[in-house]
């Protein structure tokens, strides 16, 4: 995989499930990517994981076969993002950690560089208040897997500038994604609605009213949910879901967002969904 000098380049911070998925989407669309993480073990497997996701995306027809493949580089320091056209942060859903990474990014990139937080629930302006040049910060909620789901939630914070919004539109156009712009606030639209529903579904199971498969079957068959809330939870990652619910509960006071005891037990037991091989359902070896 080779890079054309001077071509637009994307830096992705975080080599977890979402970071790998975003990197896969970008390189599969011919965009060179620098993947940044402090975890050397994650970086050591990044090329293999992206190749595996690319094969799956091509097999499913989610990315074009035979098109240009962007170069993938890995690094441990934010300084490598200095020449990036766009930067996406995709680390865990903890506000303090995200703010720390965004301060590092802001100090490394050129003025005016688009800085994206891939967040499912943390208000963009909460992060913007802790970094320089808040006008360059935008929220984009990529869904998992990013190369398969073509519609994204774009969150414009109160301090987000028009130049940043224009840059987001350019990036999404290159990635062949549709962005729907929404106003800032805890959980935005998708997580505010979906995560509370998943939490309620987990409570129904915990109360013994219905089993996991029956809850999903009812939501699919009666209400048209494409996968069912609990299978969706496995795809999101139970640990990520709990982090997002905690953000929603703390910032809205909505008791419906207090994480279910069942979800908390699953996290404590290491059953985080597809990525660990077991969640509400069991999956093959990973």
Residues 73-125: tens digit of each pLDDT? 999 999 999 999 999 999 999 999 999 999 999 999 999 999 999 999 999 99
Question: Is the domain of 236 the same as that of 128?
Answer: no
Question: Is the domain of 114 the same as that of 221?
Answer: no
Position 133 pLDDT exceeds 70: yes
Do strands 33-36 and 10-13 pair parallel, antiparallel, or not at all (unpaired)?
parallel
- Distances 37 to 16, 92, 101, 222 between C-alpha atoms, Å: 9, 12, 10, 43
Rounded CA gap, 165 and 115, in Å?
A: 11
Question: Is the domain of 220 the same as that of 110?
Answer: no
Residues 20-51: tens digit of each pLDDT? 999 999 999 999 999 999 999 999 999 999 99
Question: Is the domain of 115 the same as that of 198?
Answer: no
- Within-domain flag for 4: no
Question: Is the domain of 39 the same as that of 157?
Answer: yes
Question: Is the domain of 125 the same as that of 33?
Answer: yes
Rounded CA gap, 120 and 240, in Å?
A: 9
Q: Which of 183, 218, 253 is the last residue of a domain?
A: 183
Residues 208-267: tens digit of each pLDDT? 999 999 999 999 999 999 999 999 999 999 999 999 999 999 999 999 999 999 999 999
Q: How confident is the model at residue 66 (pLDDT cuts 50, 70, 90)?
A: confident
pLDDT of residue 67: 84
- Within-domain flag for 268: yes
Question: Is the domain of 244 the same as that of 156?
Answer: no
Question: Is the domain of 198 the same as that of 243?
Answer: yes
For 37, the domain range is 10-183
pTM metric for this prediction:
0.90
* First CA to last CA distance, the chain: 26
Position 161 pLDDT exceeds 60: yes
Question: Is the domain of 212 the same as that of 164?
Answer: no
What is the number of structural domains in the chain?
A: 2
The DSSP call for residue 43 is: H
């Amino acid at each position: 995989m080779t890079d054309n000098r001077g071509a637009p380049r994307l830096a992705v911070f975080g080599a977890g499930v979402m970071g790998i998925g975003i990197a896969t989407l970008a390189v599969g669309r011919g965009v060179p990517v620098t993947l940044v993480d402090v975890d050397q073990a994650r970086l050591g497997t990044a090329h293999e994981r992206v190749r595996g996701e690319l094969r799956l995306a091509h097999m499913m027809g989610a990315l074009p076969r035979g098109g240009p493949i962007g170069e993938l580089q890995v690094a441990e320091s934010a300084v490598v993002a200095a020449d990036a056209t766009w930067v996406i942060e995709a680390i865990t859903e903890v506000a303090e950690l995200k703010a720390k990474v965004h301060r590092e990014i802001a100090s490394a990139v050129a003025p005016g560089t688009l800085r994206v937080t891939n967040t499912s629930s943390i208000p963009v302006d909460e992060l913007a208040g802790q970094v320089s040049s808040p006008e360059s910060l935008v929220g984009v909620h990529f869904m998992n897997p990013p190369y398969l789901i073509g519609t994204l939630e774009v969150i414009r914070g109160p301090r987000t500038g028009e130049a940043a919004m224009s840059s987001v539109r350019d990036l999404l156009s290159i990635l062949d994604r549709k962005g729907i712009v929404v106003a800032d606030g805890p959980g935005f639209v998708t997580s505010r609605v979906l995560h509370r529903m998943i939490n309620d579904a987990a409570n129904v199971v915990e109360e013994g009213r219905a089993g996991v498969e029956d809850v999903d079957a009812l939501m699919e068959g009666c209400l048209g949910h494409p996968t069912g809330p609990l299978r969706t939870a496995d795809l999101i990652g139970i640990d990520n879901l709990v982090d997002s619910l905690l953000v929603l509960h703390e910032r809205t006071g909505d008791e419906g967002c207090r994480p279910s005891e069942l979800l908390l037990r699953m996290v404590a037991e290491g059953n985080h969904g597809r990525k660990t091989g077991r969640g509400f359902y069991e999956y093959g070896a990973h």
